[in-house]
Amino acid sequence: MPVHRPGSPRPRRAFLAGALIAVCALVPITPASAAESPDATASATAGTTTNTPVTPTTPARGTARMGMGVAAHDGQDGLPTGTRAAQTEGVDVASYQGNVSWTTLWNSGVRWSYNKASEGTYYTNPYFSQQYTGAYGVGMIRGAYHFATPDTTSGATQANYFVDHGGGWSADGRTLPGTLDIEWNPYGDTCYGKSTSGMVSWIRDFLNQYKARTGRNAVIYTSTTWWSQCTGNYAGFSANPLWIARYASTAGTLPAGWSTYTMWQYTSSGPTVGDHDKFNGAPDRVQALAKG
């Protein structure tokens, strides 16, 4: 029969347990910090899983460039098959290409170029001088283009801005007429918030003012899909040379009003600068366009 002796540890253990409970009751319990709490952790990691949709970032004004939306809207389907003797290689460049190695391009067979001069009435290309004069310096025939933003100012206003900031023309046989780059809006609504008739009026306003300032018909750069959607496939600008955008083995169906293209942007991943083009004719035809 167990005998309880004086000094047995049981009363002592009970005393210590009671004391511990009392001490704990006096110590405040601090909640988990925001960084440590499960809800905060879930919040902090939300959006990092691979199946969460990502909203495209709108680019900064001024960063638009020729062909910026072609691959996304029309896709890419090969390159021109073979080399036609009746076509002349060219390139188009903007500020994102920086200082271009024109000698490298010339040695690879490139004979003409277009350089972005302006956008809207708020941007001029900081590399324009190097790009424009650099192409000329190696022997190329060169021209300038304007990225249109019909939702910001009128066509005539933008034509004036373009001519005043590098988009003019001279009868030196080495300067191509300016190009109106009219395509998908990288900053918002595809058709810049305009109806088809409103877009046609804006384009006409630009072209008329450009001709009034320079005496030349501006080149129109566009894609068939954009032109169909945003102008209703308007057929009234056939007097202006067409520069078609299509990354494929052929230029494909052209916008209404044109039976042939003058230039064709066929890739954005060509050598040296990415954006490469074909002029629909031998080098003497490029020079003929420059002369007017």
Q: Which of 92, 119, 275, 277 is catalytic?
A: 92
Amino acid at position 133, single letter? T
Q: Are 265 and 277 in contact, with CB atoms under 8 Å apart?
A: yes
Active site residue 36: no
Q: Which of 74, 77, 119, 183 is catalytic?
A: 183
Say which of 74, 119, 181, 277 is annotated catalytic.
181
**Residue owning tokens 């499960």:** 38
Give how far Cα 144 sits from Cα of 9, 42, 83, 115, 224, Å. Answer: 98, 52, 26, 5, 22
Q: Is 89 a catalytic residue?
A: no
Q: Which residue, 109, 92, 84, 67, is CA-closest to 249? A: 84
**144 Cβ neighbours under 8 A, 6+ residues apart:** 114, 115, 116, 117, 128, 132, 162, 166, 167, 178, 179
Is 92 noted as a catalytic residue in this protein? yes
Catalytic residues: 92, 181, 183
